[in-house]
Amino acid sequence: MNPRTALITGASSGIGAAFAEVFAAEGFDLVITARREDRLRALAASLAQRYQCRVHVIVADLSAVDASARVCENLISQGLVVDALVNNAGYGVPGAYLASEWTRHAASLQVMVVALAELTHRLLPGMMERGYGRIINVASLAALVPAPAGHTLYAASKAFVVKFSEALAGEVRSAGVHVTALCPGFTLTEFHDVTGTRATVSEMPGWLWMDSPSVAREGLMPSCEVRPSMSPAP
């Protein structure tokens, strides 16, 4: 039986890299994509050696409006069939809503909302035809609680991810496709370094924090079993 293949966006670090390792450990081949080619290549080499899996690298900036289409064209050109999709790519724009130009906000929405929905739309038909698919959309605890000032679009984007995932799950479950919205809380990644909030969040107690491998493992809960030898969840 040929291994299934998982596509993971934002795989160069943090939760995305952790998902790549979890899927590799489950016997999947991988397609990993992000902007930083050097990190993707290093991760690919490490996982291929440790898990004896095939790892394909696609360098892409999902803030570009045609990036999702180009990723899928790359998959087709290589004859790759995606059985599991992890929409993990995302980032926060720090500061008040009007502190950034609209182009910066638009780029973040393209990554966290449009690309997520488009990749799902493009890859879902094949999953349904084959009667097997796993889609994990990385949302956030921010989607479930009142958003503080300075998180205007981030929390709203993650709330979209939750509602989108809930509705889609109801549509496709009977076809053997399982959709999950993963809502981690504070996680030890580069996220807060990028947004410039590391000093602030570092004052929070340690028990509030999770690590990326734990988040990824929780994303593969028993009802979303992904082992290639298993039948789709009922």
Percent of the chain with pLDDT over 70: 83
Which pLDDT does position 233 carry in this prediction?
32
Sign, CA dihedral 115-20-75-136, equals: negative
Q: CA nearest 109: which of 132, 127, 93?
A: 93
Q: Which residue has the higher pLDDT, 223 or 98?
A: 98
Q: What is the pLDDT of residues 154-168, one digit of tens each?
A: 989 999 999 999 999
Catalytic residue IDs: 154
Q: CA nearest 137: which of 110, 164, 118, 155?
A: 164
Phi, psi dihedrals of residue 168, rounded to the nearest 5°: -65, -40
pLDDT at 53 over 80: yes
Residue 152: which H helix or E strand, with range?
helix 152-172
The third-level CATH classification (topology) of the domain covering 5-183+211-222 is: Rossmann fold (3.40.50)
pLDDT at 150 over 80: no
Q: CA nearest 188: which of 18, 46, 22?
A: 18
**Domain extents in the chain:** 5-183+211-222
Residue appearing with tokens 């709330």: 159
pLDDT at 204 over 60: no
